[in-house]
Amino acid sequence: MNNVNLPHLSRRRFIATAGLGGTVAFAPRLLFAQEKGIVPTMIDDAAQAKIETHPLRRGISVLEGSGGNIGVLTGKDGKLLIDSGFAVSKARIVEALNALSADPVTQLINTHWHVDHTDGNAWVHSAGATITAHENTKKHLSTSTRVEGWQYTFPPSPAGALPTTIFDDEQHVHHNDTSIGLKYYGPAHTDSDISVVFEEADVIHVGDTLWNGIYPFIDYSTGGSIDGMIRATERNLSVITEKTIVIPGHGPVGNKAALSEFRDMLSTIRSNVAALKKQGKSLSETIAARPTAAYDAKWGQFLITPAFFVALVYSGV
């Protein structure tokens, strides 16, 4: 389960930006100044990517290849999806869903408001699904929302893409003979993140509070922070066992060991960056000091480059 190949996004574009950090006193936008931008890149990559299906247990699978990992629970009440990926992947997602079973999609849960997890909401809703999410997911999707770290302003989503059921702390869903617990993290990767626990199967979808084996994006524009990410990871560790299957927002399906490694990476880099900032170092000096060096070979090979991750941590310490 840990051997799933990492995807789909064009790594070269992001790696090419990493060298800017030591020489330019930049805001995160400069990381993308000569690129087409992170959001259009994600959409273009989703438009080309294959959808890979990973069956887990008790009717639960993961579809990988359209933005965030999509969880699927099949059964007589219809399919329940966790996150809806990018709309450009609709045809391939439908094909992957049909290969799992003939049940229609009747429920969708959003782990948070980001476009790579909610862009497919409108078509999934038209296909007959209700949409459940934290109240802040509905809030951000309902209005024009700027994400500075992506240098992108999202227009309000169409009415059909908005959550139809919202909650502020926790919610329980019974579907396909499965008890499903939804729980708000508090501010973490954004201010809208929830975990989704399939009780009997002992499977948890933790949304973008875990990027398994890759540096995470943190959205300070809508309430995320490095400390919130660490708190959410501690909570994830406290509610699972060695047997729990952990579905991350990005990266391969993981487990408790993967979460522990992620927590250690986040807290070590947080202390390294905080120490440099306390010495009075600017962001570009902090990047030049390479506080992530011990982790870059493993964690820096994807969407968020080492320099960009340092910038995200620096903003929060």
The minimum distance between CB 249 and Zn ion, in angstroms, equals 6
Toward Zn ion, which CB reaches closer, 114 or 138?
114
Scanning 107-115, 153-161, 193-201, 234-242 for contacts with Zn ion by CB under 5 A, the matching segment is: 107-115
Toward Zn ion, which CB reaches closer, 175 or 262?
262
Strand, helix or coil for residue 195: strand
Angle at which helices 256-278 and 226-238 pack, to 10 degrees? 150
The minimum distance between CB 208 and Zn ion, in angstroms, equals 4
User: Whose CA is closest to 223, among 110, 118, 136?
Assistant: 136
Contacts of 297 (CB under 8 A, 6+ apart): none
* Measured distance CA(214)–CA(95) in Å, rounded: 28
Toward Zn ion, which CB reaches closer, 84 or 286?
84
The minimum distance between CB 25 and Zn ion, in angstroms, equals 27
Region at 67 (left for phi over 0; alpha for psi -120 to 50; beta for the rest) = left
Note whether 64 binds Zn ion by CB under 5 A.
no
Instruction: Considering only residues 197 through 226, tell me which ones interact with Zn ion, judged by CB under 5 A.
Output: 208
Instruction: Out of 92, 114, 125, 205, point to the residue binding Zn ion (CB under 5 A).
Output: 114
Toward Zn ion, which CB reaches closer, 96 or 218?
218
Q: How big is the site for Zn ion, counted in residues (CB under 5 A)?
A: 2
Toward Zn ion, which CB reaches closer, 107 or 137?
137
* Measured distance CA(166)–CA(110) in Å, rounded: 10
Asked if 194 and 208 touch (Cβ cutoff 8 Å), the reply is no
Residues interacting with Zn ion, by CB under 5 A?
114, 208
